[in-house]
Every structure is written in C-alpha cells, then in structure tokens.
Structure 1
C-alpha cells in the first residue's frame, strides 16, 4: 500500500483543478440525454407510432450503423433513447480519456508529477487518483442520467441500462487511456493511441451492427458495442456489464505493471530520433510544424478514408428501408431537407465528421501550446523566426489538414457508394460540395482555438468547450427544440449543404471572414503576451 500513499490528496487536487470544466461537461451530457428523450416522446405521442418508428429504424442498416439497433420496438424508451445513447457513450469515453490523460501523462510531461513525487506520495498514487476521478465522473453522470430518464416516465430497468451503457464506455476508455499513458512519453502520443482505439471501436460497432449476419461478432470486439449488448429498454441483460468491468480491471492492472517498468517522464515506447541529415528539411517554421504533426495527420487521414468508405457502403440501402415519415423527418433534421434519403444520410454523416475535422484542427492548432510549455517555442523564437511566423506555421497545418480530411471523406464515400449510384466520378461531383461546405465552419473553430492560445494560453480547454457546445446545439438543436437564436450560434448550422443541393455563398463567405478575423486577433494577442511554461 506504500505506492498509494497520497492518493486522496491528489484526487482532491484534481477535483479542485477541474471544479468548473468537469461539472459543466457532466451537466451538458445529462441535458443532451434528457432533452432528446423528451423531444422524441413528444414527437411520437402514441405507443403505436413509437413502435412503428422503432421498427423502421431497425429496418435501416444505415441508421443502425449510426446509432445502433433498438432492442424492443414496443418499449417507449427504445425510440426515446436510441439517438443519444451511442453518441453519449462516445462523448463520455472522450471525457474519461481527457481526465486520465490530463492527470497522468500531461502532469508528468510538464514536470509537476516529479515535484509532487518529492513529497510523501507513492509511485502509483497519480495514476490511481486519475483513474478514480474518471470512474467517479462517469459513474456520477450515468447515475444522474438514469434518474432524469426515470423522471420522464421511462421504465426504471431500461433507464438503469442506459446509465450502464454510458458507464461501460467510460470505464473501458479509462483503462485504455491509462495503458496509453504508460506506453508513450507525451500527452499527444497518449491521445493518438487512445483516440485511435476509440475510432476503431466505433467502426467495429458500426460494421457489426449494419451486417447482422457474418459480421455481427465484430460488435463484441468493440468497447462501444458492449453497452449495446445490454439491450436497454428490452431484455436489459445487465450481466453483460461484467465485460467492460473486467476489461477495465485488466487494463488498469496492466497500466500499473507498465508503470513499474519505466522511468518517470519516459514511456515504454521510446521516441524515434530524427534522421541524421534532416536539418535541411527544418529550414522554415512551417517545415518544423509539419515534421511535428505529420504522424498524427497521417493517422487522421487514414481513419477518415476508412470511415468514408464504410459510411458510403451502408448508405446504399437507406432509401429502401425507411418508410416512416417521422423517421424520415428525423433524418432530414440531421442531414438537410433536400435530396433522397441516401443523400440525407450521407449529408448527416458529413456534418458529424466535420465536427471531428474541427477537433483535429483544434488539436493541431494547440500543438503550439505544448511546444511553449516544453520550452521549444522559446528556442525557435531565439532565431530569426517571428511570432507571427511561428503561430502561422501551426495554423496552416491545422487549417489545411482539417480541410483535407473533409475532402478525403467525400472521396472515400464516392469510391464505395459511386459504383452503385451512377459512377464514381459523378458521385464524387455530387458529394464533394457537401464535403467542402463545412470547411469555413471548421476554420472558425480553429480560429477560436488560436485566439484562446494567443490570449489565454492557460485556458485552452475553452476551445474544446466551444466545440462541444457547437456539437450539441448544431446536431441536436432542432430535436431538443432549442431557440433558433441559440442554434444559430453554431457555425456548422450555416455551412451545411446536402449532397446535390445548392450552397448559399453569403454564410460561407461570412464564416471565412470570421475565421480570418479570429486569426488576425490571435496573432495580435500572441505578439503582446509573454511566453509561459505552465
């Protein structure tokens, strides 16, 4: 037990540091689940309508791939929860990942773990405190979500299953991130491994759900699929919850074992040295920024190419199965009102993937914050490199990379969907405007991240909070029946063009001007402030 000395103190410190961000994230997740469920119950006032809608959802491989199947179409809670339960599981997995990474690898990389370790603190205490914080946050969120759904009149066993669905994802990625933090020596490396695992889990679940025959077993390989196997508002097989619990115990114990086999500040996977003759390729700030970020960018490109191909393939059958006008109405709320149901489905997926492209852009833009904390930015600025050039180099990677991700999405969809829809070339021309339209909105998010870095470097988490808010009000605003003025705050609302639809240039140009103004503001703020190391 000597290795756990100080765990309680570190846990209290972590709670104090996250006293604003953590409750805010938890409240937003609860509001998302409860608000969507209430809106769905109001949309389908009779049990017959609920059952008909649920059966139509299960008949569509495309919708099942997006949100998962409904276990019991006759249960009102099934249609009330199907849209947010899988999405919420992804969000709570991201929350668990962020908490574990922040209080393990990020603290270690910044040197604070070494300072804390000089006191009476055990070797395993930081990891234990981070795991307890993540598990506690996920459990509390799941418990409040369960109570809110019961308060809406949904049956208690199914609502408990809903909470366990979310908790299973949070637990699993608490363990995954704990292991990743031991393997890598940077917070970026930890995110690359853990978020890569999350992407693989999502694809496995989507493919397994949309192919109920020979590929159904893939769902069991996905930590996001274990909650689905609980069959909430149906069989309520709570025994399946033992799978994520066992996985979490195994991964956390593995993380402890790996922690004992590495030095403080190091990872079990050593960083690769640069090439012996690589100086010429680092002759400019942009070349340096590209060298630092090319590995992460390559991973994102491959993931988006795969997702585009998978989503394009499952879109082939969506129009053949959705015959309920209210399910069609729900899809049109997600993907736009023009075009066929296949187009609407692909438009909805492009809108969602645009959020992911914005997440990449924010991550790439904030890479400069890590360089600043580690002291590398100061060394670069000691040369002839100016602050605008340094900031601009990382901004170019973030802006160009995020735009290319959406292009790759459109190409991947066209390659898999095109052969059965009139040819790859024609399909690409049909889909590409829809894939390109969200780019100005993505760039607004990147611009916000640059402004936060330039003006408030210690509060870069605000960039992620803004993206989360845009996701909630943009993707779920119409279903949650939020005021239009609130929905309009999301830049993605003004940059959505369904496949085959026509784009209005005014909002897109306006978003580009906003992004440019944010970039100029960020440069000015960065030039005026001092560099910081914390």
Structure 2
C-alpha cells in the first residue's frame, strides 16, 4: 500500500475539473426537483392526485422506482429514482479510468517503478471514487434539508446515492482486473449496471402489479437505494447491504489484482487477424471499427428510453388535466399551447442533450487515440491528420443524427405519432453539433483539457433542466445552444437560429482541425 496517498492526490489533481462538476450538478438536481414539486403540487390534494395516477403505472415504476406515498419527501425520492444509476455509472467509469486505462497507456508501469506498492494505484482510484460519492451524498442531504425536508430523511436520500456509487466503484475495480483493455472493463461494468437496473425494474414492476417477483429488486444495489425508503419511514439497516457489498468487491478486486501481472488480465484476450481486411484500410473504416460499439450502445439505450417516454405520455395528459402548475412547468420546457406537445418537446430536449453526450464521446475518441499512442502509427502512413480527424467527426455528426432519428421514431411508435416526433428529434441536431465542434476545438487548441467538453455538456444540461424549471434569467439560459432551438412538436419553427448554430459548430470544428494540423502530436 506504499504511496497510496500520493497516488490519491494525483488522481484528484487529474480530475480537479471533471469531478467537482458532476458532484455539484448531481447535487443540484434533487434541489431543483424539490422546488418543482413544491410549485407544481402545493397542497395535499394535488399530491394525492399525482400519487393515484402514477403509483400503479408500470412504466413510471420501471423508470423511477416505487412511489411509497404522496408527501413532498416521498415524491422527491421517487423523482430522484434515476440518480443512483447515474452516480453508479460515474463511479465505475472513474475507477476504470484510473486503473485499467492507466495500465493500457503505460503510465501505471512508470509509477510502479517508483516506491509504490502493488495495490496502491487500485486503492487510490477506489478511494477517490468513494470520496466523490460521499461528498455528493452529503451535499444532497444538506441541500434538500435546507429546503425544509426532515434531516433524517435527507441524510438517507444522500447516503442511498453514496452507497450505490460505492458498490459500482467496486464493480469497476473488479472489471478492471478481468480484461486486457479499458473498453472491455467499461463494457463489463456497464453491463453489471444495466443488469442491476433491470433487476430493480422487474422487481418493482412485479410488486406494483401484485406479482411474486418483487424479491428481484433486493438483488440490485439500485433497488437497495429505493428499499432504504428515504423520507418514507427509513430502513437504516439496508445501508449494511451496501457497506458489506462494497467491502467484498474491494477485497475481490485486490485479490484478483494480486493474481495477475501488470498489464495482463484474467480473461484471455481474443487474438486478432494477422492482416487487416480490405474494408479496414482507410481512416473512415478504422473510425467505424472504433466507433461502432459506442454508437450501437447509445442507439439501443436511447431507443428504450424513447419507448418509455412515449408510453407514459397518456399518464402525463391525465396528470396535468386538472393541474395548471404542472402544465406551466411543461410549457416552460418547450412546445406550443397543447400540454402533450409541451411534454413531447421537453422530451426531445432531453434526447438532444443525450445525443450531445454521444457526439462528445465520439469526438473525444480522437484525443483518446492520441493519448494512448495509437494515432502515431496511423499518421506515420499516408494518412493525413485532417483525414484521420474528419473520419471520427463523421461519426460525431452523422452518428448523432442517426441516434436522434431512431430515438424519435421509438418515442413516436410508443406514442403513436412518429411522423411528427422524428423531425422534432432531428431539430436538436444543430445544438448537438455545437457540442461536437467545441470538443474538436478543445482537442485542437487545449488537448490536455479536452475532457472539459463533458463539463460544457453538464453546464448546458444544468441550464436546460434546472435553470428552466427555476426560471433563471433569459440571458443566462441563452448560453446553452439548446435554448435557441424550436420547441417541436407544437412550437414555431424558425431556420435562423438553426443556421447560426450550424455556423458556430462549423467554425469551432474547423478551428479545432486547423489547430490539430499545426500543433505537436502527441501531447501528453
């Protein structure tokens, strides 16, 4: 364990921008939810109406978990039902990034040549993830308690998020020992997260409909966060499940790490072909090989979310029929005068932000290839920098368009109006392309800070969701490119703001490519 604290400081220094951003943003989300709930359901009758409509809705339960009652605290807990999934995802990605990615890039071997213990790097990465999750949980507790929620329930809500993150940090630590590459470790970790979500969803759906499979939710760390019942009669003993599981996963990761060589893995590597196929001998074909898995995952996940969002549309109509405050919230999110149009327009904004996440990830693949040393052998051939970079940007631009089209179609199929929802989804493209252009500009001008593109996306997400719900100043909200899009379906369509956004995306992307062509490569 020698050198653990030094490596922990190194991890915190490398994540000094990204880690505070996600902690603060995810801590602000419950506060925004609480303010919206108080504004939309100011009395017990309105909250009871919401409970009666949604407590037995299988689609709502799959998405957010069980709704235990109609109090403000119980509605808040239910509204935050997806937060544990996000915290778990960030925690496991953080651990994989500072363990298997470090080995894959060769940096772990350099630090290991100093006075550093065998397990110091693994433990430092896990401790960093644990600390971030704990700080996030405490900020959530303090934030909602300051808004009048009982302190004990607020603490249970925050600790539920924390322990979910801890468990999946352990999952990430175990996954990092199993595969030869960071991509495989991320795949195993995310697969475990998806399985946990499906177990929770299946168990809660069964319990809601009177079935006998409610016990499935107890197999899921995400289900534990719900079974803790924050602000609904807390079950503090459920926290022990998370603590024990965290300890077991960390012990398993350390034990597995001791059984393998540095840079090796416990699962056998699949041997590649001795020579590339003819279809792989171009920059675009190589980019397709590297990007196709990510693209498929985003398409499948967002299509499933689209089916859910389209399926609950009728419940939303029933919900807002007699609640003007809720109708006003949806109207602020977008759309025309019709409540359903406003709901669907707000949903399209969410999908646009999600597609921007794919565009950022696809663009940052350029930086990942450069930092890992894989770009140099490619550029040593007849491939030029602009051709190499443009091949990846094709997937950031056209791939995001395909993601939005499929998501809009899935939502339309579930709702029964695909003819309007596919164009409404594609209307988000100019703002998505702005994020891709900004990411390309960071890679070109400030490659060491390329990951700040995620911070920009987080800021725009905060403005589009929390800022809109809390009615922040229009000038502040206008910083986000998503604030200038037409609110479809139902809103007024104008091509002028879309053209400006496309020009901004083109200018930032072209500037990034020009800077990439002129600067040194690689930049560590």
The question of whether the paired residues in 2 share the 8 Å contact of 1:289 and 1:393 is answered with: yes
SS of the aligned residue for 2:115 comes to: coil
CA contact (8 A) 1:93 1:170 kept: yes
Q: How far apart in 1 are the matches of 2:222 and 2:488?
A: 29
When the two chains are superposed, the root-mean-square deviation of aligned CA atoms in Å is: 2.8
Give distance in 1, aligned partners of 2:66 and 2:337. Answer: 26
The question of whether the paired residues in 1 share the 8 Å contact of 2:336 and 2:489 is answered with no
1:140 to 114, 135, 139: 135
How far did residue 53 of structure 1 move? 4.6
Aligned twin of 1:424? none
- 1:202-258 Cα offsets, whole Å, 9 max, x none, are 455556556622475554454333212222211222222233333323332332233
Question: Residues 330-369 of structure 1: matches in 2 within 5 Å?
Answer: 330-334=329-333, 336-341=335-340, 344-369=342-367
- Report Cα offsets for 1:103-127 as digits up to 9, x if no partner: 2122222212111111232222111
Shift of 1:464: 0.6
> Is residue 60–residue 321 contact of structure 1 (8 Å, CA) maintained in 2?
no
**Alpha-carbon deviation of 1:463?**
0.5
Partner Cα separation in structure 2 for residue 274 and residue 334 of structure 1: 49
CA contact (8 A) 1:358 1:446 kept: yes
Residues 1:12 and 2:2 aligned together:
no
How far off its partner does 1:531 sit?
Answer: 0.7
Structure 1 residue 461 corresponds to structure 2 residue 451: yes
Decide whether the 8 Å contact of 1:374 with 1:533 is kept in 2.
no
**Which residue of the partner structure matches residue 290 of structure 1?**
288
Q: Determine the structure 1 residue equivalent to 2:239.
A: 241
Equivalent position to 1:76, from 61, 72, 89: 72
Report the Cα offset of residue 267 of structure 1.
3.0
CA–CA distance in structure 2, aligned partners of residues 195 and 66 of structure 1: 17
**Pair 1:445 & 2:435 matched:** yes
**1:389 paired residue among 387, 390, 415:** 387
Change (3 A) 1:199 1:156: same
Asked whether the equivalents of residues 339 and 501 of structure 1 are also in contact (C-alpha less than 8 Å), the reply is no
Q: 1:140 to 1:317 in 2, by over 3 A?
A: closer
Aligned to 2:179: 184
Contact 2:345 2:489 in 1 (8 A): yes
**1:515 aligns to what?**
505
- Alignment check: 8 A CA contact 1:203 1:307 kept: no
Once the two structures are overlaid, the 10-residue window that deviates more, 351-360 or 269-278, is 269-278
Q: 2:420 aligned with 1:405, yes or no?
A: no
Q: Secondary structure, in 3 states, of the residue corresponding to 1:366? A: helix
Determine if the alignment matches structure 1 residue 532 to structure 2 residue 522.
Answer: yes
Match of 1:309 among 307, 310, 313: 307
Q: Is 2:477 the partner of 1:487? A: yes
The count of corresponding residues between Structure 1 and Structure 2 is 520
CA distance in 2, matches of 1:39, 1:413: 25
Matches within 5 A, 1:79-158: 79-80=75-76, 82-83=78-79, 85-158=80-153
Instruction: Report what 2:369 is aligned to.
Output: 371
1:70 Cα shift? 3.5
Q: For structure 2, which runs of at least 5 residues remain unmatched after alignment?
A: none
8 Å contact kept, 1:184–1:190 = yes
Distance 2:332 2:265 in 1: 46
Q: Higher mean Cα deviation, 8-17 or 368-377?
A: 8-17
Q: Deviations over 1:135-157 (max 9, x none)?
A: 11111221132122222221122
Q: CA offsets per residue over residues 430-485 of structure 1, 9 Å max, x none?
A: 22112211122111111111111111111122001011111111122122332222
- Is 2:178–2:266's contact at 8 Å kept on the other side of the alignment? yes
Report the equivalent of 1:278.
276
Q: CA offsets per residue over residues 21-73 of structure 1, 9 Å max, x none?
A: 43343233333333442454355454555555555553655554444443231
Alignment match, 1:261: 259
| Aligned residues of 1:72 and 1:233 also touching (Cα < 8 A) | no
Cα drift, residue 370 of structure 1: 1.9
506-515 or 243-252, which deviates more: 243-252
Report deviation, 1:314: 4.0
Contact map agreement 1:454 1:525 (CA 8 A) in 2: yes
**What TM-score do the two structures reach when normalised by structure 1?**
0.88
The corresponding residue for 2:29 is 32
Alpha-carbon distance in structure 2 between the residues aligned to 1:267 and 1:399: 35
